[in-house]
């Protein structure tokens, strides 16, 4: 530890005042800054890591609910820890445990009490146990909280804390341009001690939006950040952050004040807990998502939301043009920033990030194909009052059970290809637990909850899972073993550093390919993927391999000699052609 100098303390206070004056021009910024500093008064700044050491090719993230695996009366967080120890050592470096607090709906995203661990999952000691061995990522569900929270009960009763914590709307407010991810009514009539009020609910009427125009709400969430840091959390996912600040007459998404709140949280974590990472969850069109890097002063990491719909589209159609076009348009992440690459999540495959990248016809074909494979579709309300597809709800393994022509025998190969593409891209790869386990659509879960998203939120019994993973004939074992093998392979190759050079290769239509080069330029990897269910010929001369180097495929171990000129790639085969 290094004690902060008075100069450092003065600089932090000055930065906080700058943020706070912008957010709360009528308030006393100096007093608010002192309140922020007081929250972290016993957090001693450490010497921060250089920007090029925040992550490496060794990093890979697992996304899971605390109870994705259950074992009778054993605390699910303890079972998760056991699964990590037995099956994922040497494969993942970080774990995102989805909301683990007491909640009332949305599988954790309607938080009742941010300061507690849901007793059905375990307790803080089990959260800390995971953080002892992995970088731990936790959600700050910052836009809204549960209508069953004490804050909201206090709001209804007219007492603090809570009486002034929630976003209200009045009859004169212009809400015509509000962008939302749901088709439900925006406002919820609520009886309070001060009469009937209409509270803002971006997501559902059980998830009531907080009013960050009140600085006390900001201070409450900084206390939550402080608590989570104490418990070992080192990556914070700012959930639904784009909707945070609302103003009548605007779209109420990505407002300047929202970006300023992110910058303030970044200043706080950089100052009091260097090495802590911020990731913003903004399931929106690509150009909007990129703004959350800010000027390298907002998110360290942003989700690569467009990857999932474009990659699934390419694998279902065999067309790579849209995926290539997007790849070529993506800027390298700024220094000290990177992307989080993922192909599946607890929600679904977001379609908003495909807007402007896939035509309406291509999107419709994708939707109908996924539906034919048992998937569901969720919609959102548009500005004109209509509805549009918001996300595809489907287990990714089942989404890839065939092509637009129907099911075929290449499901496993197609799925492995999807994950291998994601693994090789610029950024940090993130695997949803049900992708690693090749879990299929949970239609029973959908029937039980009447929620489309339950289709990809299956709960495995620990003994049942162990039996499957121990059975060589099980598709779950086959996919899991090959994916973890490739995850471990990836860690050995410097060109897979999240910020290593990436260049899209212009091969023929059946192929999607890109070149990665290590930051010291000593190693190259040509990543080539057959995106079709047909055998395809690849001419190595098209890759311009340096003739003085020895080249081989890191995945299969196949070595190429001077006589090798043409390779036959089987359906959905992946190659990582490297010189080291």
Round to whole Å and give the CA distance between 225 and 233.
9
Per the annotation, does 237 bind a ligand?
yes
Q: Which of 31, 81, 43 is nearest to 227 (CA)?
A: 43
Residues whose CB falls within 8 Å of the CB of residue 211, separated by 6 or more in sequence, listed in order: 164, 165, 166, 167, 168, 217
CA-wise closest residue to 533 among 396, 409, 370: 409
Distance separating alpha carbons of residues 378 and 211, to the nearest angstrom: 27
Residues annotated catalytic, as ranges: 239
Find, among 400, 358, 349, 352, the residue nearest to 377 by Cα.
349
- The response to whether 106 counts as a known ligand-binding position is yes
Residue 450 annotated as binding?
no
Burial of residue 209 (number of CB atoms within 10 Å: 0-12, 13-18, 19+): buried
Known binding residue 239? Answer is yes
Residues 181 and 203: their CA atoms lie apart, in Å, by 7
Known binding residue 357? Answer is no
- What Cα–Cα distance (Å) separates residue 472 from each residue in 81, 464, 481? 24, 14, 10
457 is in an annotated binding site: no
Q: Is 254 annotated as a binding residue?
A: no
Question: Which burial class, exposed, middle or buried, applies to 86 when counting CB atoms under 10 A from its CB (0-12, 13-18, 19+)?
Answer: exposed
- What is d(CA 410, CA 317) in angstroms, rounded to the nearest whole number? 14
Q: Cα separation of 110 and 105, whole Å?
A: 5
290 DSSP 8-state letter: G
Q: Residue 88 carries which DSSP code?
A: -
What residues form the annotated binding site? 106, 144, 237-239, 346-347, 453
- Binding-site residue positions for substrate: 106, 144, 237-239, 346-347, 453
């Amino acid at each position: 530890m290094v004690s902060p100098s008075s100069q450092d303390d003065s600089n932090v206070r000055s930065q906080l005042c700058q943020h706070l004056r912008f957010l709360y021009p009528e308030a006393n910024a100096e007093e608010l800054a002192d309140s922020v500093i007081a929250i972290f008064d016993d957090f001693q700044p450490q010497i921060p890591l250089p920007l090029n050491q925040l992550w490496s090719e060794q990093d890979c993230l697992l996304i899971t609910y605390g109870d994705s695996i259950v074992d009778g009366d054993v605390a699910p967080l303890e079972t998760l820890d056991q699964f990590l120890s037995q099956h994922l050592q040497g494969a993942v470096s970080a774990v995102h445990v989805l909301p683990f607090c007491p909640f009332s709906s949305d599988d954790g995203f309607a938080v009742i009490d941010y300061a507690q661990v849901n007793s059905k999952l375990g307790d803080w000691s089990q959260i800390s146990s995971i953080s002892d061995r992995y970088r731990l990522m936790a959600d700050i569900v910052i836009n809204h909280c549960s209508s069953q929270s004490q804050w909201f009960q206090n709001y209804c009763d007219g007492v603090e804390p809570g009486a002034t914590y929630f976003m209200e709307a009045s009859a004169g407010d212009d809400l015509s341009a509000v962008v939302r991810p749901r088709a439900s009514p925006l406002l919820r009539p609520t009886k309070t001690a001060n009469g009937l009020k209409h509270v803002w609910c971006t997501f559902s009427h059980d998830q009531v939006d907080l009013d960050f125009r009140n600085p006390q709400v900001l201070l409450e969430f900084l206390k939550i950040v402080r608590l989570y840091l104490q418990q070992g959390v080192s990556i914070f996912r700012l959930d639904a952050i784009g909707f945070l600040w609302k103003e009548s007459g605007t779209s109420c998404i990505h407002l300047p004040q929202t970006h300023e709140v992110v910058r303030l949280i970044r200043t706080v974590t950089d100052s009091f807990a260097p090495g802590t990472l911020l990731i913003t969850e903004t399931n929106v069109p690509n150009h909007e998502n990129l703004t959350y890097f800010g000027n390298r002063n907002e998110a360290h990491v942003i989700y690569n939301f467009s990857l999932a719909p474009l990659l699934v589209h390419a694998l279902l159609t065999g067309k790579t043009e849209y995926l290539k076009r997007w790849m070529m348009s993506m800027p390298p992440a700024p220094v000290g920033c990177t992307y989080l690459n993922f192909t599946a999540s607890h929600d679904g495959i977001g379609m908003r990030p495909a807007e402007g990248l896939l035509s309406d016809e291509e999107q419709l074909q994708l939707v109908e194909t996924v539906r034919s494979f048992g998937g569901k579709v969720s919609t959102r309300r548009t500005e004109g009052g209509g509805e549009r597809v918001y996300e595809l709800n489907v287990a990714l393994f089942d989404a890839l059970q065939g092509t637009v022509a129907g099911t075929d025998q290449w499901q496993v190969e197609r799925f492995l290809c999807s994950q291998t593409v994601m693994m090789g891209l610029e950024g940090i790869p993130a695997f949803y637990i049900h992708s690693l386990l090749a879990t299929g659509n949970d239609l029973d879960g959908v029937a039980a909850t009447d929620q489309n998203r339950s289709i990809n939120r299956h709960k495995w019994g620990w003994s049942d899972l162990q039996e499957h993973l121990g059975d060589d004939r099980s598709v779950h074992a086959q996919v899991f073993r090959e994916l973890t093998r490739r995850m471990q392979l990836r860690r050995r190759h410097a060109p897979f550093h999240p910020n290593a050079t990436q260049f899209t290769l212009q091969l023929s239509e059946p192929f999607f390919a890109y070149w990665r080069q290590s930051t010291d330029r000593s190693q190259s990897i040509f990543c080539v993927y057959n995106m079709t269910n047909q055998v395809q010929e690849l001419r190595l001369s098209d890759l311009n391999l340096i003739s003085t180097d020895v080249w081989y495929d890191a995945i299969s171990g196949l070595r190429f000699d001077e006589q090798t000129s043409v390779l036959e790639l089987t359906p959905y085969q992946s190659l990582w052609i490297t010189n080291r």
